[in-house]
Amino acid sequence: MSETKKNILITGAAGGVGRATVKLFHERGFRVIGVDRKSVYGEFPADGLFIQADISVPENLEKIFMQASQFTSTLDVLVNNAGFQVTKPLIETTVEEWDMVMTSNLRSVFLGAKLAYPLLKANGGAIVNVSSVHAVATSANIAAYAASKGGLLALTRAMAIEFAPDKIRVNAVLPGAVDTPMLRAGFHRGRENEASEESQLAALAAKTVNGRVGLPEEIASVIYFLADNSQSSFITGQGLLADGGATCRLSTE
């Protein structure tokens, strides 16, 4: 087994941002370990490893990192990208739904970083957590998701402090509206009689300074920047907004 290439583990690897991130890092010479509860149907780099698993289950994470340690003795990058979203009013959100969001979006990152730590500290690596614009500015009917992503931003800062002595940097990217299956699926939850996906995308685009929604490839590029020691070696414990300028405009404007 060759250890000449750098190695990365990406959760949520079958989603929009996940697929774009797998593609970018593979093109840059990384061997990719991808994890997702959904299958990638064979669309994965031949020199990589795909593990189909639900990371909201702690035992699954333990198995994932056991397999990862058999694949490579070191990790250069961990990208915590997997996410689960419930879009409904807070008073209608069940305890089970709340817990599913928290275990998928927050507890999995805590435990995943804990399990990845021995592999990361070997060479000094980088962790990139995919938070959300909802961590800093949110909207109605998405409270559980917003709370989980706000917690992830705080966890990013705490991890950066604790992991710094081992030369492991920890940062977060906070995407705004990005054209992904998760975004489009959100249009349909409880909104069966509303406008089409395209018209709702256009409405979101109009609310950004750039006048458009983001592309998964654009978020993948931010992840690469935060993971690359040659570009961001003096950045740790930070959350980088990639939202097309949505949060810089006053809502009263």
Tokens (6 digits) for 173: 């990217």
User: Of 227, 222, 134, 225, nearest to 182 (Cα)?
Assistant: 134
Give CA–CA dist 210/93, Å, rounded: 33
**Helix locations, the chain, DSSP H:** 16-27, 58-71, 95-102, 108-120, 143-163, 181-186, 197-206, 216-227, 229-232
Q: How far apart are CA 170 and CA 238, in angstroms?
A: 8
Q: Which helix (H) or strand (E) holds 241?
A: strand 239-242
Residues taking part in catalysis:
145
Strand partners for 170: 127
Phi, psi of 236 (to 5 degrees): -155, 150
Q: Is 74 within 8 Å of 122 (Cβ atoms)? A: yes
